[in-house]
Amino acid sequence: MSTDSLVKIKNLVKHFDISGGLLDQLQMENGRITRKQTVVKAVNNVSFEIQKGETLSVVGESGCGKSTLARTVMGLYPPNSGEVHYDGQRIDCLPHRQMLPYRTKMQMVFQDPYASLNPRMTVRQIIEEPIYFHNKGISRGDAKNKLHEVMRSVGMDPEWAGNYPHEFSGGQRQRISIARALAVEPEFIVADEPIAALDVSIQAQILNLLMDAQEERNLTYLFISHDLSVVEHISTRVAVMYLGSLCELGTAKEIFSSPRHPYTRALLSAIPTLGGEKKKHIHLSGDVPTPINLPPGCVFHGRCQFANDRCREEIPLGRNLENGTLCACHAVEEGRL
């Protein structure tokens, strides 16, 4: 693996305390008042690196911590522990002012194009705000040129800049959202399910737009999605997450052709296929446990047909396999599977 990594995440942990105020936390237990905190363990000990110019996709079912991971990388949530490095510099603990230079390098595209644009601002105001903010003293003409350039690059007519977001369709809004991210000339873009809220016919357009932008501007993507066929199409590498933990990470080709982790196998067997021979669909029994009470050992053991006593007690660590894939599974490691 090359050492040219742009973003590096080390043992990232993000927990959310949802127990409310002190009075809500107090409970009577056996005649004694005890303080009980409820914590959602959204991301647990996740480490990976993103190489320059690649698209790393994170997949997993809803609630597995994909979006939390993306937001923690962007610094929207402070991590409980662990580190986020950008270009060799640790950025997760920087104060606001020192973080500013990284804000132009890292941008984000959000899932819901109906909520990610301020309804009281025109498209011009939305896109020009980051331009003016990060280029202090830029002339009006230059800002306007930049606005027109990014609007054209996302396939929008600059004539529409005076309109409000509600006057556009979902696909067009997502283009505006991408234009806002591109306006500060970033190197790295986190796309948090950017096509999940869109019509299928529009999804392809937005995906092509993202891929074209990557080619023209030499971007690196962290792409969050639950749409496996899309992920296979656009990714360089794929990370599979389950219940806040990383199960498997490898090149898209390896993951989709020979998945190793039992969860990845089950997940990939759920992709519908057209024609050809039918693949055997692996049915998982039971539900995803809640991230409030994580199961001990491997988080997947309750639904895994290969689980044994070791899986119930010991948390598996990610190990590199012979094909370069990183897999966190005792069964794979022991050759039971």
Q: Which positions lie near another protein, rule CB under 8 A? A: 71, 74, 76, 96, 99-100, 103-104, 106-108, 110-112, 115-120, 129-130, 133-134, 159-163, 167, 177, 180, 184
Which of 44, 10, 25, 22 lies closest to 291 in space, CA to CA? 44
What separation in angstroms does the CA of 135 have from each of 79, 101, 184, 188? 29, 11, 9, 19
Cβ atoms of 244 and 291 within 8 Å: the answer is: yes
CB of 198 to another protein, least distance (A): 15
Cβ atoms of 151 and 158 within 8 Å: the answer is: yes
CB of 266 to another protein, least distance (A): 31
Cβ atoms of 193 and 158 within 8 Å: the answer is: no
Which of 9, 192, 2 lies closest to 112 in space, CA to CA? 192
Identity of the residue, 96 or 140, whose beta carbon is nearer to another protein in the bound complex: 96
Helix, strand, or coil (residue 162): helix
Identity of the residue, 58 or 249, whose beta carbon is nearer to another protein in the bound complex: 58
CB of 150 to another protein, least distance (A): 14
CB of 243 to another protein, least distance (A): 24
CB of 320 to another protein, least distance (A): 33
Q: What distance in Å separates the CA atoms of residue 153 and residue 156, rounded to the nearest whole number?
A: 7
Identity of the residue, 173 or 303, whose beta carbon is nearer to another protein in the bound complex: 173
Residue 98: phi and psi, rounded to 5, are -75, -15
Q: What distance in Å separates the CA atoms of residue 185 and residue 34, rounded to the nearest whole number?
A: 52
Identity of the residue, 39 or 337, whose beta carbon is nearer to another protein in the bound complex: 39
Identity of the residue, 47 or 80, whose beta carbon is nearer to another protein in the bound complex: 80
Q: Give me 261's structure tokens.
A: 């982790």
CB of 168 to another protein, least distance (A): 8
What residue type is 10 in one-letter code?
Answer: K
Identity of the residue, 106 or 228, whose beta carbon is nearer to another protein in the bound complex: 106
